[in-house]
Amino acid sequence: SKLTVVGAGAVGSSVAYAALIRESARHVALYDIATARVEAEVLDLAHGSQFTGTSDIIGGADLDVTNDSHVIVITAGAAQKPGQTRTDLAGVNAGILRSLVPSLLERSPDAVFVIVTNPADVMAVVAQEVSGLPRERVFSSGTVLDTSRLRWKLGQRAGVSISSVHAYIVGEHGDTEFPLWSHATIGSVPILDWQPLDGQPKFTVDELDQIAIDVRDAAYKVIQGKGATNYAIGLSGARIVEAILEDEHAVMPVSTVLEDFHGVSGVALSVPSVVSAAGAVPIRETSFSEHELELFHRSAEALRQVADSIR
């Protein structure tokens, strides 16, 4: 199996690093237009090969390094600077994707595309449109990362492991995202009923609201401190790649272009979706409370405005 990561910046290099360590794909290729940068990243990663199992790494600034990939993760583009929102990046990054995706597809006609470049939901629409591929074959990592941030916080507070937390962030990967609290459980216990194991008080509605805000703003905090977010998105990306290459049918909140999903069409938003070798298919049975439905439509509206602004 072959994974190509496009963009060898903070995020792309970390996706490749995580994929090598997790052995997400047999072959990993890293591509970037910045020749010196990508060659250095590939060398540095290759130098660790003795300690990373059977995956190998190649790469460079020649698009042919991407040939015959099964999955292509796109992280190329301008990144958020402190104070910048993800949507500020839309115009520049849409241009990059419009030129990149056709040349990648030509070299890997069977690939599934995973878009990480921000604003990820809008970029998923751009990439899907320019590729002409079915909706399930071009999607964004969406709120997989945000959901991991949420589960980590809830697990810490509840006194349980992260895998015992069942909760999703849905909607935009960005400022209008929100948790599906109506379905959030620890084990099978609704979150508000959970008695934390360390004797702390139960969760309150106000506290959950604050946790949602912290998760939403988490990237800003990390970028403020270190200039980029990379490790958690690297792991999230590698995990999505595995679900595709292993044909797992794993449920993940990725972002595909929706078609009449709770009344939303033509924009990409994250909802729990089944991820397999065929790509990602939103789970239509996912139900929302009345308030959640309102937030979902608000998220769709915000993304529609960004999408319109770059047409």
Q: Please report, as ranges, the residues that interact with ligand NAI according to CB under 6 A.
A: 6-12, 32-34, 37, 75-77, 79-80, 89, 93, 96, 100, 116-118, 120, 141, 145, 173, 228-229, 233
Among the listed residues 70, 173, 291, 297, the single catalytic one is 173
Nearest residue to 71 (alpha-carbon basis) of 129, 10, 16, 125:
16
Please, what is the minimum distance in Å from the beta carbon of residue 194 to ligand NAI?
Answer: 28
78 assigned binding-site residue: yes
Please, what is the minimum distance in Å from the beta carbon of residue 16 to ligand NAI?
Answer: 11
239 assigned binding-site residue: no
Q: Which is nearer to ligand NAI, 4 or 229 (CB)?
A: 229
| Cα gap 113→115, rounded to integer Å | 6
Q: Which is nearer to ligand NAI, 12 or 282 (CB)?
A: 12
Tell me which residue has its CB nearest to ligand NAI: 9
Please, what is the minimum distance in Å from the beta carbon of residue 37 to ligand NAI?
Answer: 5
229 assigned binding-site residue: yes
| Cα gap 32→6, rounded to integer Å | 6
Q: Which is nearer to ligand NAI, 245 or 268 (CB)?
A: 268
Please, what is the minimum distance in Å from the beta carbon of residue 163 to ligand NAI?
Answer: 21
44 assigned binding-site residue: no
37 assigned binding-site residue: yes
Please, what is the minimum distance in Å from the beta carbon of residue 123 to ligand NAI?
Answer: 8
276 assigned binding-site residue: no
- Residue positions counted in the chain: 311
* Contact assessment for residue 62 and residue 37, using Cβ atoms and an 8 Å cutoff: no
Is 70 in the active site? Answer: no
Q: Which is nearer to ligand NAI, 158 or 238 (CB)?
A: 238
Q: Which is nearer to ligand NAI, 76 or 215 (CB)?
A: 76
| Cα gap 292→182, rounded to integer Å | 8
80 assigned binding-site residue: yes
Known binding-site residue numbers for beta-D-fructose 1,6-bisphosphate: 151, 166
Active site residues: 173
Query: Could you tell me which residues are annotated as the binding site?
Result: 7-12, 32, 37, 77-78, 80, 86, 93, 99, 116-121, 141, 146-149, 151, 166, 229
